[in-house]
Structure 1
Amino acid sequence: MNMSMADHHGTMLMASGGPPHHHPTSAPEHDHSSGGMMQMTFYFGYKNVELLFPGLLINSVGGMIGACVIVFLFAMIYEGLKISRECLLRKSQVNVRYNSMPVPGPNGSMLMETHKTVGQQMFSMPHLIQTILHVIQVVISYFLMLVFMTYNGYLCIAVALGAGAGYFLFSWKKAVVVDITEHCH
């Protein structure tokens, strides 16, 4: 039976007595945790922090501050994009239809209640723009998730503060429409 195990330097040791082999991801210059493993606990550091791409390595306080500012701005943009898409959707809505439904009234009578249905066309410029903005929003959201998954406390705080600042700056414009004729169901 040929089994292998790794020592604390990421070196592969063969149980069959074969020569040791180095694990390809255990290069010391890219190792910000022990043994070449991905960091799985929150930590506050600025040395050897890989950010999303292999060549994007943070090694200084200034680099960490710059990365945090960029991550903060991306989180703000993400929140702004969400609110902008909602506003664009409301502006581009077409095909207003009114549907009447009978509802029971007082003393066994029937009343007609009208509901407004709003939609948009699939093959229209507003829907194409919404689709493109949705793709951009999804990509930014996954990048922010991956940044958070670095477990670097500074970067995680930048994501959270950026999302909070973006919500604060952009969400107050959201109009909440309350239909006073709406009944509890």
Structure 2
Amino acid sequence: MDHSHMNHGGMDHGDMGHGGGGMADMCNMNMLFTWDTTDLCILWKGWHIRGPVSLVFSLLAIVLFCASFEWFRITIREKDADGTRLAETVPRHRQVKIEQRSHAAQTVLFMIQTFWVFIVMLLFMTYNGFVWLAVTFGAGLGYYLFGKSTPAARENICH
């Protein structure tokens, strides 16, 4: 069928991804390791690296996020140990109730930890060297600051 005689003047083709003004907001999704930060988006389109300043602030945010994750993991481990010691000191009929509450709280904390660790994994999956270094440095900083009393916390963060 020949469409050459049809008038296409009133049709808007501006949002079809063929270039134009919308390209400035495109995210660069790498599937191989790179140090390039041109149009790097971290986790979602709104976290778009547009220059050196946004890169530095983003890397600092990632370091803090990963360091706080280490604090969270280590704190949970210490609270679990404290709860076990506390449950052993109360009468048996109260232990069941304490254990049920404790298990419910541990489940919620486990859910938060699982969500957090997968966000860290998604950060790593940017395949960007700067982000990898920020994740690694943040985890190391968190362990250095908060892991003094818990040597068992050196296990891998992926559950």
Amino acid at match of 1:154: F
Q: Distance in 2 between matches of 1:31 and 1:54?
A: 8
Match of 1:14 in 2: none
Task: Write out aligned runs for 1:22-33 (5 A).
Answer: 22=16, 28-33=23-28
Match of 2:78 in 1: 87
Match of 1:141 in 2: 117
Aligned CA distance change for structure 1 residues 175 and 58 (closer, same or farther; 3 Å): closer
Cα displacement (A) at 1:144: 1.0
Match of 1:123 in 2: 100
Q: Percent identity?
A: 26
1:68 equivalent to 2:67? Answer: no
Give the structure with the larger strand fraction: 1
Question: Do the aligned partners of 1:71 and 1:155 also contact (CA within 8 Å) in 2?
Answer: yes
- Among candidates 34, 47, 50, match of residue 56 of structure 1: 47
TM-score by length of 1: 0.60
Match of 1:154 in 2: 130
**Residue segments in structure 1 that go unaligned for 5+ positions in a row:** 1-21, 97-118, 177-185
Q: Distance in 2 between matches of 1:175 and 1:91?
A: 16
Moved over 6 A (4+): none
Cα displacement (A) at 1:30: 4.1
TM-score by length of 2: 0.68
Amino acid at match of 1:66: F
Q: Which has the larger radius of gyration?
A: 1
Length, aligned pairs only: 128
Cα displacement (A) at 1:62: 0.8
Question: Do the aligned partners of 1:81 and 1:133 also contact (CA within 8 Å) in 2?
Answer: no
1:87-112 alpha-carbon deviations (Å, 9 max, x no partner)? 1001111554xxxxxxxxxxxxxxxx
Task: Write out aligned runs for 1:157-176 (5 A).
Answer: 157-174=133-150
Question: Do the aligned partners of 1:68 and 1:158 also contact (CA within 8 Å) in 2?
Answer: yes
Cα displacement (A) at 1:167: 1.3
